[in-house]
Structure 1
Amino acid sequence: MPPPAVSTAPVAPVVASSSSAAAAAPRRPRSLRLRVTPYASVSSSSSPSTFAVSIPPPPPARHSRKQLVGRDGAPAKPAKPRVFFLDVNPLCFRGSQRSLGAFARWLALFFAHVSLRDPVVAVLDGEGGNEYRRRLLPSYKAHRPRGPGTGADSRVIDVLRECNVPVVRVDGYEADDVVATLTEQVLQKGFRVVIGSPDKDFKQLISEDVQLVMPIPEIGRWSFYTLRHYVAQYKCDPTADLSLRCFIGDEADGIPGIQHLVPGFGRKTAVKLLKKHGSLENLLNTAAVRTVGKDYAQDALVKHADYLRKNYEVLSLKRDVKVQLDDRWLSTRDSCNDSSVLSDFILKFNEGQNIR
């Protein structure tokens, strides 16, 4: 088994209070228009595109026959209610540049077309959240800024609060670890969880009751990613995702895969071995006493076992962050201020320009 995680003393979470926003008189909804420059995948010579959205009231509940009637003709169980976790930090960037415009655009789309009035909890990286993993692997997110002032802009937090979204941040931990911990608590209360983030780390949490919704810059929309999508993409179960990523690494986060040491050891080989042995630790323990594959794979598993175990510890999301779910976060979100708050936010920073 991988060595125990190094513990750090957490700081109590900073949670936004939504009571004042809820008590205020609802603002008159206005149409929200954002003008954003195209993402890096589009030629910089392209003219800016206009994005407009009005935050509509939630649609009436609709039930298909499949939802109401089971296969045996008996009434089907109603779907579990959903709770959304929003990974805020990645949404505040356009490419490698900070952008309030990118945040406003993705948030408006998220409220209007994804979460509607379902509960949303926003989670931010805490100060020093990367340090634990950087001690294990110095290359981990080494290209990203660090230290005070590198977190989310205070204006981002203000907008979330005004939209009645609680904000959670625990110093000493990354948002991923806080989301993983709170996800366990939400599932125990009988809810489903949807995690709004482009971060691949969350794929290790996918199950029947946990799915992702990811911002896709190329098409300018959020896209759901479920258990079915995962199995179709990787040809294995998400329970093996963490073990699989120890082999393939994560270049975006500075975590090299084993192919840098053994070029012939790719995803296909890793999936084949994990299907047979179930997990990285089982595979490494078996390879230590007998042959489990071709010579190059066998040699790699024996020679680089410590390397793979370190990747496992770096990539594994913590579930023991000292943060407690507040039952008030599970209530229907009051969305009456969404349109006016986001419109004011855009107007304040010059609507129609590339907001930074």
Structure 2
Amino acid sequence: MSLKRFMVIDGNSLLHRAFHALPPLQTKDGIYTNGVYGFLTMLNKIIEEYSPEYICVVFDKKVPTFRHKEYTEYKANRAKTPDELIMQFDILKDVLKKLNITTLEIDGFEADDIAGTLASIGEKEGLETILVTGDKDYLQLATENIKVLITRKGITNLEIYDEQTVKEKYGINPNQLIDLKGLMGDKSDNIPGVPGIGEKTGIKLIKEFGSLEGIYENLESISGKKLKERLIENRLQAFMSKKLAKIVTEVPINVDLQELRKREPDYDELIDLYRKLEFNSLLNKIRKNTEDNQASDDLADIDCNYEIVQDLGVIDSIIQSINKNKSVYLKFIQEDKIIGLTIKTETTKTYYIDLIEEDFKEKVLLKLKDIFEDENIEKKGHHLKEDILILLKNRIHLKAISFDSMIGQYIINPSQNSYSIKELAKEYLSVYIKDEDDILGKGKNRKKITDIPLEDRAKIFSVKLEIVSKIENLVKEKIQKYNMNELYYKVELPLVEVLAFMEFEGFAVDIEKLKELGEEFESKMTELTEEIYSIAGEKFNINSTKQLGYILFEKLELPVIKKTKTGYSTNAEVLEKLKGEHPIIEKILEYRRIMKLKTTYVDGLLSLVDKKDNKIHSTFNQTVTTTGRISSTEPNLQNIPIKTDEGRKIRKVFIPSSEEYKLVDADYSQIELRVLAHITDDPNLKEAFYNDEDIHTKTASEVFNVPKSDVTPLMRSRAKAVNFGIIYGISDYGLARDLNISRKEAKLYIESYFAKYKKVKEYMDNIIKEGKEKGYVTTIMNRRRYLPELKSRNFNIRSFGERMAMNTPIQGSAADIIKIAMVNVFNELKKRKLKSKLILQVHDELIIEAHKDELDQVKQILKSQMENAFKLSVPLKVDMKIGDSWYETK
């Protein structure tokens, strides 16, 4: 017959383990929660696995114990507990209270003493006790019915010990481990032991003499003069160490075992607390585990009244409702083609319109066209760029977007991993829904949407649209609370339409020129391959790390920079350090550079060209970067190389779509430095832009203390590195590396810069301080970036946070300005009904495919809208170039 289980958890040990195992986690209010979250994850796992009848969590008290009185240096070597962890103890105890789990802490004793006493009580009561901890001191308590569950790595790897497994591991009985600690001490607790005796010697002595007492009773039998001397000299210390290491099992505990029975949580209070702590996955676990519990009613599935539509007559009824409400929620479902459309108003059920049949789809779209294009009917949804694109391909223009939940959540928290409806349902409604990934699967085995029954399809997508309607006001309230209305309604929402049109228009590619470039790169790679073989004295696979490692470090005997588990490292960093050591290194670096151009850009672009129009239709991502910048994928047009002649050739293949058009490239001049001047209000920096000076020449003059006329190209180049480095919070180490100078010289440059631009230094210091106090920094449009890293005790993490605090308001503000410019340029082109189209944005530049008859208008629109996008205290300046390829505009 199996025994009932009693689980005793060392709260201090597990909370420490969880805190250090997980990255920093903060709520919007700046509450650190990673330790508590990790603890609860472990707690749920072990409760699920071991199903205890009784449970208790024990803690240390913040007062000295009897051990401190015995030995004042006890645990004196422990580092100060991080503030981020200290604040989580009370939070954890509050959570445990809501879980109805008893916690114990007693003056004068440590958590392990309380746990040991409870284990002793449990054993006497005929229970199987499981002690959960990360502290191996507990192993001394192991018996047949007292087991120790040790956390090994992270928060999921646990190892269980009983009396037999302790014997197998150490070769001695569990109760002899305190004798071992008496001999070898314990560095973690600052227990001294006998100097010079380690685990191996200690175990050998205990096996021979049975205990510490036995060893000292038989000193004459111990061989080894030095060992005997150490034991004699440290006798008192050895017995004190044993006493310190022994876990007390007779702590006066005023608690009845029945009080420790596992009980149901107080769900109402627990749900409220989990919401406050933003523990969405734990909220969902409650929902799953308590489906019949009234307290979890608010965690039940979304109540969604939906109807499948396959009749045109119902479409007329839907149109009437939309016209009456003057707003509509919508989402198209598309795989290879349009499959369906979910649509609803604030007052109607959700309709899933089945659009599999092509003829029915055409008729439905024709009926809904006027609704979609009516500027007086608000359109609401999630990731509406997808829907705009779908409709554009069907010659319909979706207008009047007033709410997009994905965009709203992005500006609320730009660091979030996912903005899916599933995630938003968890966050705002504490509801777990199954989305298409859960049902269809992922990767190669993913089913098609059409493989699942129509009824299931309708429910999945109807529920998702229902969620969008339910969270709309909650998202808007947060946007209002964070003072982001202007950012949302004037910048980000209008930008959705702009990006959709840019994707739809695409960028024309000269296919033949791209193929020729591929052949040129292939030829160059072949040439380099032969040169490398000749230098190496043999043929080998240049792309094989193992073979290249052999050639470089064994045959050519170059100095080994770094090794991996599988052999020599030959990565770019290693090869850069080896430059100058041997002529083969430069050839290999050049080979790799050309190969990347060939595979990533030539082959990559060829695979992505749309054969219908010979264009690249890149995807522009609005919710990826934490600074607010737009990124692009498939392909990443922002990464087209420009630093080498070969790289710049890639831009030659990007051309206007016909001979009637030219490319106009408008590039902000030093926008980030202008933003820096505006934000810092530095008079010296502002003066340069007022006078339209070369800012890098001016900085060189200031830093090197020479007249502007005496500034050399090298001085200007170094000043440029300082100017842009300051924006990114560069250190003397980073600047030294970039300029290949000493750290001392780099430090002097930075100090000279701050001496001349005092307000910049003042701003940098203040923004870090502000970031620490608020937990975030903002841009000129009040865009937030949360920086929990600023409060980290880890120097590298904290330094990263400080650099981001300095950079984000500048880079993010520049992103705000370019987005405003994009919206204004797009609207002006549309307003004038021009044939010219905005087709690309790359960092600080816009590219328009301009009709030759409209060139003057386009130039005027770009200059006016870009330079007046935002009123800075210094002028914004735009440089423009026109060409027959992207290459010609640079």
What's the TM-score once normalised by structure 2's chain length? 0.28
For residues 121-151 of structure 1, the C-alpha deviation after alignment (integer angstroms, 9 at most, x for no partner) is: 01111231x44322333332212559xx969
Deviation for aligned residue 1:156: 1.1
Deviation for aligned residue 1:348: 6.7
Report the equivalent of 2:15.
92
Alpha-carbon distance change, 156 to 274 in structure 1, aligned in 2, over 3 angstroms: same
Deviates more, 1:230-239 or 1:215-224: 215-224
Structure 2: gaps spanning 5 or more residues: 25-31, 281-412, 418-785, 792-890
1:119 corresponds to 2:51: no
Alpha-carbon distance change, 131 to 331 in structure 1, aligned in 2, over 3 angstroms: closer
1:141 corresponds to 2:75: yes
1:347 corresponds to 2:278: yes
Distance 2:253 2:80 in 1: 25
What are the equivalent positions in structure 2 for 1:38-187 lying under 5 Å apart? Answer: 78-93=1-16, 94-95=19-20, 100-112=33-45, 113-128=48-63, 130-142=64-76, 143-145=78-80, 153-187=89-123
Deviation for aligned residue 1:172: 2.0
Distance 1:218 1:108 in 2: 11
Report the equivalent of 1:324.
254
Distance 1:215 1:145 in 2: 22
8 Å contact kept, 1:124–1:167? yes
Alpha-carbon distance change, 151 to 292 in structure 1, aligned in 2, over 3 angstroms: farther
Alpha-carbon distance change, 243 to 272 in structure 1, aligned in 2, over 3 angstroms: same
Report the equivalent of 1:12.
none
Q: Counterpart amino acid of 2:275?
A: D
Report the equivalent of 2:202.
270
Distance 2:155 2:11 in 1: 20
Alpha-carbon distance change, 158 to 313 in structure 1, aligned in 2, over 3 angstroms: same
2:222 partner SS: coil
Deviation for aligned residue 1:208: 0.9
1:255 partner SS: coil
1:328 partner SS: helix
Report the equivalent of 1:73.
none
Greater C-alpha radius of gyration: 2
Distance 2:111 2:87 in 1: 11
Deviation for aligned residue 1:302: 1.7
Deviation for aligned residue 1:347: 0.7
Deviation for aligned residue 1:243: 0.4
Q: Counterpart amino acid of 1:134?
A: H
Distance 1:341 1:189 in 2: 37
Q: Counterpart amino acid of 1:226?
A: D
What's the TM-score once normalised by structure 1's chain length? 0.66
8 Å contact kept, 1:121–1:329? no
Distance 1:152 1:134 in 2: 25
Report the equivalent of 1:285.
217
Deviates more, 1:239-248 or 1:223-232: 223-232
Report the equivalent of 1:229.
165
8 Å contact kept, 1:101–1:346? no
Structure 1: gaps spanning 5 or more residues: 1-77
Distance 2:41 2:256 in 1: 25
Q: Kindly indicate whether structure 1 or structure 2 has the higher relative contact order, using CA contacts under 8 Å at least 6 residues apart.
A: 1
1:305 corresponds to 2:240: no
Distance 1:117 1:241 in 2: 27
Distance 2:258 2:118 in 1: 14
Q: Counterpart amino acid of 1:282?
A: G
Distance 1:297 1:333 in 2: 54
8 Å contact kept, 1:162–1:341? no
8 Å contact kept, 2:9–2:56? yes
1:241 partner SS: helix
2:252 partner SS: coil
Distance 2:273 2:180 in 1: 40
Structure richer in helix, relative to its length: 2
Deviation for aligned residue 1:187: 1.0
Report the equivalent of 1:208.
144
Distance 1:108 1:116 in 2: 15
1:247 partner SS: helix
1:153 partner SS: helix
8 Å contact kept, 2:98–2:266? no
1:154 partner SS: helix
Identity %, equivalent residues: 22
1:222 partner SS: strand
CA-based RMSD of the aligned residues comes to 3.3
1:95 partner SS: helix
8 Å contact kept, 2:9–2:58? yes
8 Å contact kept, 1:213–1:225? yes
1:120 partner SS: strand
Q: Counterpart amino acid of 2:37?
A: A
8 Å contact kept, 2:192–2:237? no
Distance 2:141 2:153 in 1: 23
For residues 41-62 of structure 1, the C-alpha deviation after alignment (integer angstroms, 9 at most, x for no partner) is: xxxxxxxxxxxxxxxxxxxxxx
Distance 1:202 1:268 in 2: 20
Distance 2:124 2:116 in 1: 13
Q: Counterpart amino acid of 2:68?
A: R
Deviation for aligned residue 1:224: 2.0
Distance 2:278 2:88 in 1: 20
For residues 65-108 of structure 1, the C-alpha deviation after alignment (integer angstroms, 9 at most, x for no partner) is: xxxxxxxxxxxxx1211100011112223239996322322322
8 Å contact kept, 1:117–1:332? yes
Distance 1:144 1:318 in 2: 25
Q: Counterpart amino acid of 1:277?
A: F
Deviation for aligned residue 1:334: 2.5
Distance 1:216 1:226 in 2: 16
Alpha-carbon distance change, 328 to 341 in structure 1, aligned in 2, over 3 angstroms: farther
Q: Counterpart amino acid of 1:125?
A: D
Q: Counterpart amino acid of 2:253?
A: V
8 Å contact kept, 1:125–1:151? no
Deviation for aligned residue 1:344: 3.2
**Number of matched pairs:** 270
8 Å contact kept, 2:98–2:265? no
2:258 partner SS: helix
Distance 2:158 2:273 in 1: 18
8 Å contact kept, 2:8–2:132? yes
